[in-house]
Structures are given as structure tokens and as C-alpha cells.
Structure 1
Amino acid sequence: MSLLSSFFSNFFSMQSKSVRDNQLRQDSRENAFSLQYSNKKEQFVLKVSMFAALFLAIFGISFGMSIQSMAVIFDGFVALLSVGLGFLSVLSSRYIYKEDDDVFQYGYVRFEPMVNLFKSLVLVFVCIYAFINALHSIINGGYEVEFEAGAVYSFFAFLFSSVLFAYTLVFARRLRSDLIKVDNTEWKIDSVLYFAALLAFTLSYIANFFEYDMSFITPYIDPVLLALLSLFLCVSPLRIACENLKDLMMIAPPELDERITKIMQNLSTEFGFSDYDTHLAKSGRFYMLEVNILTQKNFKPKSVQEFDHIRERIEKALEIPSYNIWLRVSFTADPKWL
């Protein structure tokens, strides 16, 4: 009877293990497919943004040369700068999930915060440059804006930038991509600045219909709007720069640090661990977590699978996709290895 019971117990145990292994393999395949789809979609969106910036640059330079406007030509060259920055994003997205090699033995995860930091600092520089130019114009008495040609260019550039802003915003949220988020911030800055120029043209045009002479105000409309908006727009890229600088400095995210502390406290109570130590860092969309567990001397695991079971519980409790985390869990009975 005991032999029969043992047989059925082993049989159902093997069946359960087989089902569990199949489920893990299926989840792994689904995660790999989801990751591949998201990464390809991210690269596609970044390429659309890059080529859109190229189109805007060509349009701005050619239109500026046709109306002989240095301001519009300069704007086209600024858009050309965005093309180079966009290429960096596409290149970074292509290498993010590339496996480690002999040179980059921890993978290419650092590329994302480096690119995002560089791009956001360039956007901050553009905002500061626009503010300084606007301030210089105000001090020197402002300037008159040519309504017809300038308004046409600003109108079409504003519509184009707004469409790209909305497009990148959708996929930045859907794919949770910081690379697309930076591009989205760039298109937001462009949209607002073009809208400000269009508003300045409109206000200058309306001022001509007032009963009183408003000619002394119109030269200041555009530079004042530009100064105010450039300061306002500087906030977003500055925030992105700070976030990515934290990633490069390997500063632990507070929320995740609190979460892993609670997880380890619960596991220590359940398994009777003497102590534990954690090391956490974030790099772009990737997390690197090291957990060292100090076991009691009388702790006797049934098998190596029990260690793996604890690792699985930590990974699931973190609620981070396995392809976005580098998790290392070690066990020791000697406090010096913590």
C-alpha cells in the first residue's frame, strides 16, 4: 500500500513539475516575443521622429532661403541638429537589449541614460539660448515681425510639430520608453515655440486695428513671449537630465528600495534568516539588484531548488519583467560575505 502511495505521489509530483516547466517555457517565449515587438516598435517610432525632423530641417532651410530670412534658416539648422540626436536614439534602442560580450560584459544598458542625458542637456541649451536671445532683443528695443512669410512658416511648422508631439506621446506611454519620451519633449518644445511665434504674428497684426497707436508695443511681443516660454519649457528637459544623471551615478530608486526591504523582511521571518544586505541600481529601463542573505547555522535546505524557489519569489514580488532586471541572490553562513 505504501509503495502504491509512493508511486502515485512521485507520478503526480513529476506531472506537476512538467506542467510548471512547460508554463515557464511558455512564459519565457511570450516575454521574448513581447520584448522583440516592443523594441522593434520603439525603433520604428524613433525613426519616424528622426525623418520628420529631417523633413522639417529641409523645409525650414529651403523656405528661409526663398524668403531670405536668417531666422527661419537658423531654425532649419536647429531641426537638423535634432536629426543627429534622433540617430543616437535609434542606435541606442538597437543596442539596449543586445547580449553582453567580451567588451561590454554587463551589456549595453548604460547607453540609454547616456543618450537621454546628452539629448536633454542639448534641449536645455536650446532653451537657454532662446532666452538669452530674447532678453538681448528686449534690451535693444525688440524687433518687428514680418507677418506674411513668417506666419505661413510658423503655422505649418506648428501643425507638423503638434502631430509628431501627439504621435510620440502615445507611444512613449504605451511602450514606457524614455528614449521616445525625450523625443516627445523635443517635439513639445518645438510646438510651443512655433505656437508662440504664430501668436506673436497674430497679436502684431491685431495691434494695427486698435484706435490708439500700439506700434511701441509690437516690437516686444515676440521676444517677451519667447523669453517666458523658453524658461517654462526648460523645466521638462532639465528634469529628464536629472533623472538620467541619477541613473549614471547608480542612485537607488527609493520606491524600489522600500519594496525589496519589505520583501526581504517577510522572507527573513518565514525562513528564519539572520540578516540580509541589498544593493540596488537603475540604468535606464534596467534594474540591477544584488541580495546577500545570511542564513542561520542550523538552516538546512532540502535541495538547491529551495534556493531557486526563494529567488523566484523575490523576482515575482518585485513585479519587474525578467528581461529588465539583473538579479543576483546569494546565500552565506558567514557575516563577512554580506
Structure 2
Amino acid sequence: MNTEQGVLRLSIIMTFIVAAVGVGFGILSGSASIIFDGIYSLTDASMTVVALIVANLITARLSEKRQARLVKHFTMGFWHLEPMVLGLNGVLLTGAAIYALVTAIGSIMAGGRDLNFGGAIIYAVVVVTAAVAMAVNNYRANRKIKSGFVALDAQGWAMSAALTGALLIAFIFGWLIQGTEWQWMTPYVDPVALALVCIVVIPLPIPTIRRALADILLVTPTDLKAHIDQIAARTVEAQGFLGYRAYVARVGRGRQIELFFIVPTGLPPRPLEDWDAIRDQIGHEIGGESPDRWLTIAFTTDLEWAE
């Protein structure tokens, strides 16, 4: 549980269990909201499997033979897969919620549906307990791991706990009003609860989708660009260069940085070790040295090479 892969594996197992329980209880109790909860969890689990595969690729947790074969075809690494998976996950979850909202509205207009509130309440209690435990576990683990996949997975469990908790309140309300003057409302409890849950769920993945789209389109992070510009400007002043060009992008957990320094013509020759020392200094000032940092530093007298 101290690794990204370990957290995601446990989450996949628990999500499939919750999804199976949800679909089963939903069919037995006649609750569309519970069936949606199970399908939503199943969709999330499927994408978590894909996320685990991508995480293994990024961290190269593969056999040497397989790793060599993949590296031959993906010499630039696998960072670009991470925002694709995160974006697709967000789109699928939002799409499922929109479809369920349309279904719930149709059910309300048709007069609602009868529901076995006893079974629905048992399901909701079990799922809320499991979801809270998983959310807390993932949030704690991610303090050290700092993974976008684990963060999204923890958010998913927190969402599941909150939404199933809302269903629990609705089911308890429906159970309490049976045999009272408000019993006419019971057929509407399930579709109304589903509609309200969907209204809450639909916008939640939007920040993840926006971030993933920005990474896919290689939108330059302003904070990282400003940091690189400061370091490059200091280097230009200290070394007497004519200027620089900086190209920065964030792709999932990866940071791609390319720096071109414009050197005056006619300078006396310098050993390559001197240029490497400048690169080392720049890399140290940038910080974050890891397999997830792709840093290229070049020196040229021709501005066209830098643009």
C-alpha cells in the first residue's frame, strides 16, 4: 500500500465488489439509483484498471524483455497516456451521469416506481462504510505517493460515499413515510434521489477533464514557465549570452522543458565539461530531478535553431 500500483490494485478489487453488490441489490430491490451506483462504480473500476496499466508503463514496472520492446516503439516515454486516461475517465463518468439523469426524469414523469426500502438501506450502509474506508486509505497513501491517478481514485471514493449517503437518507425517508399520509410519495423517492445525485455528479469530473485536455494540448503551465524564465534570465546575465528561448509543457506527471541559449559568435573555445557544468547548474536550480523530468539544454549561435 506504499506504492501507486498497490493502492490502485486494492481499489480495483473493492470497486468491482461494490459494483457487483450494487447491481445485485438494485435488481432485487427494484432501485434504478442503486443500479446506477453499481454501473458508475463498474465504469470507474474499468478505468482504474487502465490507469494501473499506464502507471506500470510510466514507472517501467515490466519485464526487461517487454520493457525493451516497448521502449523501442515509445522512445519519448508514456507520460502522454496519463492525461488521456484521466480525461476519458472523466468523460465516461459524466456521460453515465447524464444518461441516468434523463432516465430518472423519464421515470418521474411516468409515475415513479415501487422500491424495497429495507434492502436498499442495507446496501447503502454497506457501500458508505466501504467507500469512506477506501477514501481515507487512499488520501493517506497519496500524501507520500503524490499520484494523479491515486488522487482521482480517492476523489471517486469520496464522491461515492457522499452520493450513496444521500441515497441512504432518501431510502430512510421513504421507509419512514410508509403507512402515513405521505405514502403517495414513495414511488418518487428512488427516481428523485437518482436525479439529485446525477445533478451533483455531472460537474464533478469537469476539473479533471479540463486539466487532462490542457496536458493533451501541451498548454504551457504559467507557474512552471515563470520559474524557467527566471533561471534562464539569470544564466544569460551570468554567462554573457545574448538571450534564450524556453519551451515548457506538462504531460500528466511529466514535465518537458527545452532551453536554448543564444551564444555570441567568436567566443574562444571552451571544453565540453564547462558547458556540461552550466547544464548541471541550470538543472539543479530548476529542481525536481526525476524520471518524470525531461530536460533539454542546448547552446547555439544561430537563432533559427532555437525557434
TM-score band (shorter)? 0.7 to 0.9
1:184 equivalent in structure 2: 154
TM-score normalised per structure 2:
0.86
Given that 2:218 and 2:250 are in contact with CA atoms closer than 8 Å, whether structure 1 keeps it comes out as yes
1:52 is matched with which residue?
Answer: 14
Match of 1:69?
Answer: 30
Find runs of 4+ consecutive structure 1 residues off by over 6 angstroms.
none
1:107 positional shift: 1.4
Gaps of 5+ in 2: 61-66
Aligned-pair CA distance for 1:256: 0.4
Alignment pair present for 1:227 and 2:215: no
CA drift at 1:325: 0.7
Q: Secondary structure at the match of 1:323?
A: coil
Report the counterpart of residue 183 of structure 2 in structure 1: 215
Q: Hey, what does 2:254 align to over in structure 1?
A: 286
* Cα distance change, pair 62–145 in 1 and its aligned pair in 2 (3 A): closer
Q: Offset at 1:209? A: 8.4
Letter in 2 for 1:148: G
| Aligned AA (2:198) | S
For the 8 Å contact 1:97–1:109, the answer to whether it is kept is no
Report the alpha carbon displacement of residue 236 of structure 1 after superposing the two structures with TM: 2.9
CA–CA distance in 2 between the matches of 1:191 and 1:304? 58
Equivalent position SS for 1:296: coil
- The answer on whether the counterparts of 2:26 and 2:120 sit within 8 Å (CA) in structure 1 is no
Cα deviation code 1:257-307 (max 9, x no counterpart): 111111111111111211111111111100111111101225446422222
Deviation string, structure 1 residues 108-154 (Cα, Å, up to 9, x no partner): 22221121111121111122223222322333344444321111111
1: CA distance, partners of 2:196 / 2:12: 28
- Higher RCO, Cα 8 Å, sep 6+: 2
Say whether the 8 Å CA contact 1:120–1:182 is kept in structure 2.
Answer: no
Counterpart code for 1:172: N
State the distance in 2 between where 1:224 and 1:321 align. 51
Which of 39, 46, 52 is matched with 1:84 structurally?
46
Mark the runs of 5 or more structure 1 residues left unpaired by the alignment: 1-36
Q: What are the equivalent positions in structure 2 for 1:147-186 lying under 5 Å apart?
A: 147-186=117-156
> Offset at 1:73?
5.2
SS of 1:251 mapped into structure 2: coil
Alpha-carbon RMSD across the aligned residues, in angstroms, is 2.5
Tell me the residue number matched to 1:269: 237
Of the two, which has the highest radius of gyration? 1
Return the match for 2:220 from 252, 261, 283. 252
- Kept after mapping to 1: 8 A contact 2:128/2:160: yes
Tell me if 1:124 matches 2:68.
no
- 8 Å CA contact 2:115, 2:187 repeated in 1: yes
Asked if the contact 1:138–1:223 (Cα under 8 Å) also holds between the matched residues in 2, the reply is yes
The Cα of 1:54 is off from its aligned counterpart by 1.9
In 2, are the aligned partners of 1:182 and 1:237 still within 8 Å (CA)? Answer: no
Partner of 1:201: 171
TM-score when normalising by structure 1: 0.79
Matched, 1:296 2:260: no
Contact preservation (8 Å) 2:30, 2:114: no
Q: Deviations over 1:184-214 (max 9, x none)?
A: 232233222211210101222344587xx33
Alpha-carbon distance in 2 for matches of 1:155, 1:287: 43
Structure 2 SS opposite 1:109: coil
CA spacing shift, 1:301–1:271, aligned 2, 3 Å? farther
Aligned-partner Cα distance in 2 for 1:314–1:234: 44
Is the Cα contact below 8 Å between 2:31 and 2:120 reproduced in 1? no
1:46/1:106 CA distance change after superposition, 3 Å: same
